[in-house]
Amino acid sequence: MAHLPYDQLNGEIWYDGEFVPWKDAQLHVLSHGLHYASCVFEGERAYGGRIFKLEEHTDRLFESGRILDMEIPFTAQDINEACKEALKRNGLEDAYVRPVAWRGSEMMGVSAQNNTIHVAIAVWQWPSYFDPEKRMKGIRLDIAQWRRPDPRTAPSRAKAAGLYMICTLAKHAAESKGYEDALMLDWRGQVAEATGANIFFVTKEGEIHTPYPDCFLDGITRRTVIDLAREQGIPVIERAIKPAEMADFEQCFLTGTAAEVTPVSEIGPYRFTVGEITRALMEAYDKTVRP
């Protein structure tokens, strides 16, 4: 379904400490964040007017900034309150929340010590990341050409804009083949994650196995679902997983703020069922996030 471009939506965006009309929240074409990817962000969801794990997301935003040598010129409390106010001002209760921080345009070149750090927060309606009908049946994943890099070559613990370039390429390639998303391996050839979500597998014995996040983001939703599984007595094992092992798993699902808990029915040549454990965690997560 067609929708307005994001720069044409109505509402207000919090921009460097004050709310401005949506159309006025702009930055210069020579901003360092655009040219050199000095930009960090968060993805959050509000359910019934409450932003799920807001404080954890804000803490991660500041940690991402620290990793990229960016000192965010506001306090965590400032950002938390601005996120809540943005939700109210735009009249939304169920929404996506996007705080973002980037280097401005004072210096243009790789070096940018004197650039102003700008911060903005936008909120909008985003009901489902994947098509709801396909999601319930289990989405289909291609296996991406691009791999998550060695953490010695990229700041993999930051939610940084530049790290998503290969995700966009992988997702475009997958969608061009009729898939909904792609599985990315890491530089060692081990299972890593999808393009914007963490991945879990369920064995025939009812154990959950998931890659250890040593070169990709340890998602807040990932940690939430691990806790929910363990509360239900389901063993969760974090370990290195080789692609060939996918043949031995019965179920598979993705987790993320946008994806929530999404079943997977296919990854390349491997097939999975939407089983009891996956459905139970979908239900448990839904009950956890909704007030």
* Residue range 29-59, pLDDT digits in tens: 999 999 999 999 999 999 999 999 999 999 9
Q: Given 68, 89, 124, which residue is the final one in a domain?
A: 124
Q: What pLDDT, on a 0 to 100 scale, did the predictor assign at position 133?
A: 72
Query: What domain range is 13 assigned to?
Result: 6-124
- Whether residue 153 is found in the same domain as residue 282: yes
Q: Is residue 1 part of a domain?
A: no
- Whether residue 83 is found in the same domain as residue 216: no
How far lies 40's CA from each of 57, 132, 146, 249, in Å?
12, 29, 21, 35
- Whether residue 11 is found in the same domain as residue 119: yes
- Whether residue 149 is found in the same domain as residue 276: yes
Q: What pLDDT, on a 0 to 100 scale, did the predictor assign at position 103?
A: 98
The Cα 55–Cα 79 span in angstroms is 9
CATH code of the domain containing 246: 3.20.10.10
Cβ 240 vs Cβ 190: under 8 Å: yes
How far lies 161's CA from each of 31, 63, 278, in Å?
14, 14, 30
- Whether residue 137 is found in the same domain as residue 280: yes
Question: Rg of the chain over CA atoms, in angstroms?
Answer: 19
How far lies 197's CA from each of 69, 186, 194, in Å?
25, 14, 5
- Whether residue 141 is found in the same domain as residue 282: yes
The Cα 61–Cα 193 span in angstroms is 20
CB environment 154-188: b (16+ within 10 A), e (fewer)? bbbbbbbbbbbebbeebbeebeeeebbbbbbbbee
- Whether residue 42 is found in the same domain as residue 101: yes
Cβ 72 vs Cβ 104: under 8 Å: no
Can you give the three-state secondary structure of 142-187, one letter per residue?
EEEEEEECCCCCCCCCCCEHHHHHHHHHHHHHHHHCCCCEEEEEEC
User: How many of the other CB atoms lie within 10 Å of CB of 285?
Assistant: 18
Contacts of 42 (CB under 8 A, 6+ apart): 57, 58, 60, 61, 97, 98, 99, 100, 159
Cβ 162 vs Cβ 32: under 8 Å: no
Cβ 103 vs Cβ 31: under 8 Å: yes
Q: Is residue 199 part of a domain?
A: yes
Q: Catalytic: which of 137, 159, 242, 287?
A: 159
- Which ranges of the chain have pLDDT less than 70? 1-2, 128-132
pTM for the model stands at: 0.94
Q: Given 124, 147, 169, which residue is the final one in a domain?
A: 124
Q: Is residue 192 part of a domain?
A: yes
- Whether residue 157 is found in the same domain as residue 278: yes
Closest listed residue to residue 148, CA positions, set 191, 180, 181: 191
Q: Is residue 32 part of a domain?
A: yes
The Cα 215–Cα 148 span in angstroms is 7
Q: What pLDDT, on a 0 to 100 scale, did the predictor assign at position 56?
A: 98
- Residue 159 annotated as catalytic: yes
- Whether residue 107 is found in the same domain as residue 164: no
Contacts of 25 (CB under 8 A, 6+ apart): 13, 15, 120, 122
Kindly state the DSSP code that residue 100 receives in the 8-state scheme: E
Q: Given 90, 124, 158, which residue is the final one in a domain?
A: 124
DSSP-derived 3-state class of residue 114: coil
Q: Is residue 117 part of a domain?
A: yes
- Whether residue 97 is found in the same domain as residue 143: no
